[in-house]
């Protein structure tokens, strides 16, 4: 029997697959086939901030889990494991064998790689009836859509194995581990859940440990706890990147972090506030020093915008149009002055020259005043932003994404506002 991919590509025997099923599973039939990996190759680097044509649910309640898993997905079933950037699915199949009673979802942004994992899952299900029905793979951008799939506290394991290191300093914002994204990971992880990372790049390992260990909702596991976790040995050689690193003589650097319980709120009760919109407006006098949280968020956003623009205020479209108009008009008048001087019209040339210089100087002064208009309020905004960042959000920390819960009060975020 031959299986075909979406591109009608021939495949090779399943016996050549690196994954060795456990002895409890049925023996592999020689007729069963796996997709060939070489037909699904795609460049490893992908810009997570690009507008990819991805279909994602608006909230976790809208996820079509029976359609994704293509198996008997009962109403009470929950996805507990998520492999972000699952690649060619090595860890997914390892999770299917280690935890056959738990469901795991792989999230991959590259379309060809995601197609390969889906084809391989179908082939493995055909080779082993009744097995591998607890894993699935979807094409998605976890940096933007993670909370669209999982509600608060749903996951017990979240894996980031051999992520793109993004060596350039300007691309560090693309790294999958960052303070803002760690707040989202804490949101979807239940207390006691674990965040697994592994890389063969020491610089990236130091970055991950620096940011995750300092986050108030995560703690790094000790070496003894790391050794007792049955999943830790699988972080090294189950993925294609891990095996490649071993062949090249590189060492795997794992790091595992545990989700700690939410800190107590201002009343001393842990987890008392379930709806984030209610929490954001509660106790404005004591928790925020009499300052509205929306104003603090606006001030923090203005500081962030000022930092991205080098301390300058972002000009409106009308201001930019008028400034550029003055610049262009000034240069046109200077050219006209040159033409007038060449035609021996000294008076007209002098007038055009003076008007041109005045126009350019006026545009330059206008831009400088507009750029420095916010400098007087920058200190106040920075203080407000500092106050905003110190307010403990239940379960999510100080994330700039403004996650809003569902109106039903089930803890499922309805939308993300960037």
> What tokens were used for 180?
């803002």
pLDDT band at 371 (very low <50, low <70, confident <90, very high): low
Give me the DSSP letters along 354-406: HHHHHHHHHHHHHHHHHHTTTHHHHHHHHHHHHHHHTS--TTT-S-TT--EE-
Across 61-75, 100-114, 214-228, 323-337, least confident range: 61-75
Q: Is the pLDDT of residue 310 over 90?
A: no
- Of 14, 5, 19, 20, the residue nearest 32 (C-alpha): 14
Across 54-58, 130-134, 349-353, 413-417, least confident range: 413-417
Please give the average per-residue pLDDT across 129-144, as a whole number: 91
- Any known ligand binding at 108? yes
pTM score of the predicted model = 0.59
pLDDT band at 272 (very low <50, low <70, confident <90, very high): very low
Mapped onto helix, strand or coil, the DSSP state of residue 70 is coil
Query: CB of 82 within 8 A of CB of 195?
Result: no
> What tokens were used for 312?
């300058």
Please give the average per-residue pLDDT across 365-382, as a whole number: 57
Beta-bridge mates of residue 253: 199
- Any known ligand binding at 239? yes
Within 10 Å of residue 228's Cβ, how many Cβ atoms? 10
pLDDT of residue 403: 42
In terms of residues, how long is the chain? 418
Please give the average per-residue pLDDT across 163-169, as a whole number: 89
The counts of H helices and E strands in the chain are: 15, 11
Query: CB of 125 within 8 A of CB of 51?
Result: no
Of 64, 101, 115, 164, the catalytic one is 164
Active-site residue 83, yes or no? no
Distance CA(107)–CA(141), nearest Å, equals: 7
Our measurement of the distance from residue 297's CA atom to the centroid of its chain's CA atoms, rounded to an integer in Å, reads 21
Within 10 Å of residue 79's Cβ, how many Cβ atoms? 23
Please give the average per-residue pLDDT across 336-364, as a whole number: 88
Within 10 Å of residue 409's Cβ, how many Cβ atoms? 10
Distance CA(10)–CA(255), nearest Å, equals: 39
185 vs 349, residue with greater confidence: 185
Mapped onto helix, strand or coil, the DSSP state of residue 198 is strand
Across 75-79, 82-86, 311-315, least confident range: 311-315
Distance CA(60)–CA(415), nearest Å, equals: 10
pLDDT digits (tens, 9 = 90+) for 181-233: 999 999 999 999 999 999 999 999 999 999 999 999 999 999 999 999 999 98
Mapped onto helix, strand or coil, the DSSP state of residue 43 is coil
Query: CB of 142 within 8 A of CB of 85?
Result: yes
Residue labelled with tokens 């060939």:
36
Strands 33-34 and 12-13, bridge-based pairing: antiparallel
Please give the average per-residue pLDDT across 69-82, as a whole number: 84
Query: Which range, 186-195, 278-287, 312-321, has the best average confidence (pLDDT)?
Result: 186-195
pLDDT of residue 315: 61
Q: At 318, which helix (H) or strand (E)?
A: helix 317-342
Q: Is the pLDDT of residue 377 over 60?
A: no
- Any known ligand binding at 238? no
> What tokens were used for 152?
């608060």
Please give the average per-residue pLDDT across 147-170, as a whole number: 93
- Any known ligand binding at 141? yes
- Of 159, 152, 66, the residue nearest 107 (C-alpha): 159
Beta-bridge mates of residue 83: 106, 159
Q: Is the pLDDT of residue 404 over 80?
A: no
State phi, psi for 203 to the nearest 5 degrees.
Answer: -65, -45
- Any known ligand binding at 85? yes
- Of 122, 123, 76, the residue nearest 101 (C-alpha): 76
Query: CB of 153 within 8 A of CB of 188?
Result: yes
307 vs 112, residue with greater confidence: 112
Mapped onto helix, strand or coil, the DSSP state of residue 34 is strand
pLDDT band at 53 (very low <50, low <70, confident <90, very high): confident
- Of 160, 5, 183, 189, the residue nearest 79 (C-alpha): 189
Distance CA(401)–CA(182), nearest Å, equals: 12
């Amino acid at each position: 029997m031959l299986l075909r991919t979406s591109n009608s590509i021939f495949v090779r025997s399943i016996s050549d697959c690196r994954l060795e099923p456990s002895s409890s599973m049925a023996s592999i039939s020689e007729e069963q086939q796996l997709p060939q990996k070489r037909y699904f190759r795609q460049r490893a680097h992908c810009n997570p901030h690009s507008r990819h044509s991805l279909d994602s649910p608006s909230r976790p309640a809208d996820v079509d889990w029976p359609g994704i898993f293509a198996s008997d997905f009962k109403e009470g079933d929950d996805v507990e494991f998520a492999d972000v950037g699952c690649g060619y699915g090595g860890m997914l199949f390892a999770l299917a064998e280690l935890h056959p009673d738990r469901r795991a979802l792989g999230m991959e942004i590259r379309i060809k790689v995601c197609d390969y994992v889906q084809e391989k899952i179908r082939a493995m299900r055909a080779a082993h009836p009744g097995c591998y029905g607890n894993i699935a793979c979807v094409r998605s951008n976890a940096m933007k859509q993670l909370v669209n799939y999982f509600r608060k506290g749903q996951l017990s394991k979240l894996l980031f194995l051999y992520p793109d290191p993004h060596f350039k300093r300007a691309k560090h914002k693309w790294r999958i581990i960052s303070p803002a994204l760690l707040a989202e990971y804490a949101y979807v992880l239940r207390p006691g859940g674990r965040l697994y990372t592994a890389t063969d790049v020491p610089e990236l390992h130091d970055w991950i440990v620096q940011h995750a260990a300092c986050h108030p909702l995560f703690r790094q596991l000790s070496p003894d706890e790391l050794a007792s976790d049955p999943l830790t040995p699988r972080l090294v050689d189950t993925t294609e990147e891990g095996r490649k690193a071993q062949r090249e003589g590189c060492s795997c650097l794992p790091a595992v972090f545990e989700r700690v319980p939410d800190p107590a709120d201002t009343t001393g009760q842990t987890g008392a506030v379930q709806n984030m919109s209610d929490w954001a407006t509660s106790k404005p006098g004591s928790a925020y020093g009499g300052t509205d949280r929306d104003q603090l968020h606006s001030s923090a956003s203005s500081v962030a915008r000022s930092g991205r623009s080098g301390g300058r205020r972002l000009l409106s479209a009308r201001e930019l149009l008028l400034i550029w108009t003055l610049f262009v008009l000034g240069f046109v008048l200077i050219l006209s002055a040159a033409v007038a001087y060449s035609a021996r019209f000294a008076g007209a040339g002098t007038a055009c020259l003076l008007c041109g210089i005045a126009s350019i100087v006026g545009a330059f002064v206008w831009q400088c005043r507009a750029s420095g208009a916010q400098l007087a309020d920058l200190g106040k905004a920075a203080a407000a932003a500092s106050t905003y960042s110190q307010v403990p959000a239940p379960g999510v920390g100080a994330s700039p994404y403004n996650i809003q819960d569902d109106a039903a009060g089930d803890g499922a975020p309805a939308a993300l506002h960037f």
